[in-house]
């Protein structure tokens, strides 16, 4: 490298590293809060940290259409939903719904399925022309226009607490305006999903199956109204059914498969686990579009990149909770929130975390959440009313990462309070207890969650 280039590059590297260190110090000394979640956790060796940063660059920088001058990051689409992981997982955090009605959908996806028998490997019945997820972006020039044009509208529901205070809930309604590959002959089952935050995920993978199964109570034998059961899903690598952990219905078994599926489904990029393009038979332009295969590769995302992005996705650091001394923590127990949102879970002794306890505030099991939240679309064992308990760690930083970020599987809740008020089904009693509390108590509970 000629000296004139090497020096500025070195200087930039040094500057970048000082910036990283400052970021680290800031977090451990408390008061200043991070504005993104893209820092690695402390479990990584120096070598793994390099892989993390490499993975981060492939997750953050946009992928491009093939053919392109870069062969490492080409092959996007031609049908896709976004160009990078962080287009949806904004700043490493969650996605959002459009603030205004009629705006296009960003950072959320619309899952679909046909009415028939689910496929053993996908857990749903793929639609012959549209697959299992609607692609909102495409490459019209290459004969592959987006699958649909669609928009979001909101329906508002108003209600009142027993103490007379009013509240309002927002429900998103998704409308397809135009089907670019023909209108489906029978109605599809649909499920709107917003990207969840990516923090702490390798530690969720480190929980043993037995620990998760011990929390399950499918027949509610302790009679507390809360059951909880594990999903069982197809593992592509192991070629068998295993416990599901990732996604809003726990439909993915591992971080690697979840990452590979994101590449394939959200970005249109083939990889070792999903080597075939997801273009359907009817999408001829999609089949004919140039692929992003480099000269030595057969898939668009090399194994090295898939592994680096998987390591990245698993090791975003969980932000430390802020000090909280009020009564909200106790209320969280008393209102039975902790029956599903468990704070401490031990990881497996055989895992890289060696039995360390984590505080995700989730049991990672499926719960019936009632009609209000139902999507009426099953995924493997999860039925249309069931959702995986959302982990609550880091939830207090949500609005800092994006002011429009929403809560719950489809981002409908504009505040933590709205999220609680949507709870039904097994959580109905918990929501009722919340509503019956005084306004001060309700605020204390929310303040506690804001401190996480």
Q: Give the footprint of ligand HEC on this chain (CB under 6 A).
A: 59, 81-82, 85, 87-89, 107, 109, 193-196, 198, 201, 226, 246-248, 251, 255, 258-259, 262-263, 266-267, 309, 313, 335-337, 339-341, 367, 369, 373, 387, 389-390, 392, 395, 407-409, 416, 419-420, 423, 426-427, 430, 434, 445, 449
CB 129 within 8 A of CB 182: yes
Q: How is residue 38 written in tokens? A: 């893209």
CB 314 within 8 A of CB 255: yes
By C-beta, is 12 or 304 nearer to ligand HEC?
304
By C-beta, is 40 or 409 nearer to ligand HEC?
409
Q: In angstroms, what is the minimal distance from the CB of 210 to ligand HEC?
A: 20
By C-beta, is 5 or 160 nearer to ligand HEC?
160
Q: In angstroms, what is the minimal distance from the CB of 351 to ligand HEC?
A: 17
By C-beta, is 26 or 157 nearer to ligand HEC?
157
Q: How far apart are CA 441 and CA 138, in angstroms?
A: 49
Q: In angstroms, what is the minimal distance from the CB of 178 to ligand HEC?
A: 20
By C-beta, is 20 or 408 nearer to ligand HEC?
408
Q: In angstroms, what is the minimal distance from the CB of 119 to ligand HEC?
A: 16
Among candidates 298, 338, 312, which has minimal Cα distance to 433? Answer: 338
Q: In angstroms, what is the minimal distance from the CB of 450 to ligand HEC?
A: 10
Q: Which residue has the tokens 């999507």?
A: 375
Q: In angstroms, what is the minimal distance from the CB of 340 to ligand HEC?
A: 3
Q: In angstroms, what is the minimal distance from the CB of 142 to ligand HEC?
A: 20
By C-beta, is 147 or 266 nearer to ligand HEC?
266
Residue 249 burial class via C-beta count within 10 angstroms: exposed 0-12, middle 13-18, buried 19 and up: buried
Q: In angstroms, what is the minimal distance from the CB of 59 to ligand HEC?
A: 5
Collect all residues with Cβ–Cβ distance below 8 Å to 216 and sequence separation of at least 6. Answer: 227, 228, 229, 230, 365
Among candidates 419, 353, 366, which has minimal Cα distance to 94? Answer: 419
By C-beta, is 21 or 333 nearer to ligand HEC?
333
CA 151 to chain centre: 21
Cβ atoms within 10 Å, residue 60: 17
Q: How is residue 31 written in tokens? A: 């008061």
By C-beta, is 279 or 309 nearer to ligand HEC?
309
Among candidates 60, 143, 80, which has minimal Cα distance to 269? Answer: 80
Collect all residues with Cβ–Cβ distance below 8 Å to 259 and sequence separation of at least 6. Answer: 306, 309, 310, 313
Q: How far apart are CA 154 and CA 135, in angstroms?
A: 21
- Preceding omega of 78 cis (within 30 degrees of 0): yes
Q: How is residue 427 written in tokens? A: 């959580």
CB 95 within 8 A of CB 411: yes
By C-beta, is 195 or 207 nearer to ligand HEC?
195
Q: In angstroms, what is the minimal distance from the CB of 337 to ligand HEC?
A: 3
């Amino acid at each position: 490298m000629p000296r004139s280039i090497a020096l500025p590059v070195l200087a930039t590297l040094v500057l970048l590293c000082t910036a990283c260190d400052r970021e680290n110090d800031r977090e451990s000394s408390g008061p200043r809060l991070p504005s993104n979640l893209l820092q690695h956790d402390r479990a990584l060796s120096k070598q793994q940290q390099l892989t993390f940063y490499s993975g981060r660059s492939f997750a953050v920088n946009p992928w491009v259409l093939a053919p392109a001058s870069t062969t490492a990051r080409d092959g996007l689409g031609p049908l896709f939903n976004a160009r990078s992981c962080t287009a949806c997982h904004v700043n490493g955090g969650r996605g959002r719904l459009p603030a205004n009605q009629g705006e296009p959908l960003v950072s959320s996806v619309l899952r679909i399925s046909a009415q028939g028998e689910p496929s053993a490997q996908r857990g749903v019945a793929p639609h012959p022309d549209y697959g299992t997820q609607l692609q909102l972006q495409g490459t019209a020039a290459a004969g592959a226009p987006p699958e649909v044009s669609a928009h979001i509208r909101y329906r508002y529901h108003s209600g009142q607490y027993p103490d007379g205070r009013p509240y309002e809930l927002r429900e998103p309604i998704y409308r397809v305006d135009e089907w670019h590959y023909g209108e489906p002959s029978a109605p599809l089952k649909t499920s709107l999903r917003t990207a969840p935050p990516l923090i702490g995920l390798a530690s969720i993978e480190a929980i043993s199956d037995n620990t998760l199964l011990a929390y399950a109570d499918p027949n509610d034998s302790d009679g507390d109204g809360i059951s909880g059961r594990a999903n069982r899903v197809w593992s592509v690598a192991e070629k068998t059914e295993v416990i599901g952990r990732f996604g809003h219905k726990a439909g993915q078994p591992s971080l690697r498969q979840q990452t590979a599926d994101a590449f394939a489904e959200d970005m249109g990029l083939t990889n070792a686990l999903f080597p075939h393009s997801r273009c359907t038979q009817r999408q001829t332009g999609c089949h004919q579009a140039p692929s992003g295969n480099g000269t030595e590769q057969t898939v668009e995302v090399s194994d090295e990149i898939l592994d680096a992005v998987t390591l990245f996705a698993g090791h975003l650091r969980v932000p430390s909770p802020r000090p909280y001394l009020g009564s909200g923590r106790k209320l969280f127990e008393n209102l039975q929130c902790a029956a599903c949102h468990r704070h401490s879970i031990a990881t497996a002794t055989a895992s890289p975390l060696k039995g360390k306890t984590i505080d995700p505030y989730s049991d990672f099991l499926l719960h019936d959440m009632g009609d209000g939240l139902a999507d009426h679309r099953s995924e493997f064992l999860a039925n249309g009313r069931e959702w995986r308990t959302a982990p609550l760690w880091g939830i207090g930083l949500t609005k800092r990462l994006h002011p429009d970020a929403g809560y719950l599987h489809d981002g409908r809740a504009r505040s933590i309070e709205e999220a609680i008020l949507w709870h039904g089904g097994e959580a109905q009693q918990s929501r009722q207890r919340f509503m019956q509390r005084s306004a001060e108590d309700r605020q204390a509970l929310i303040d506690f969650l804001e401190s996480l």
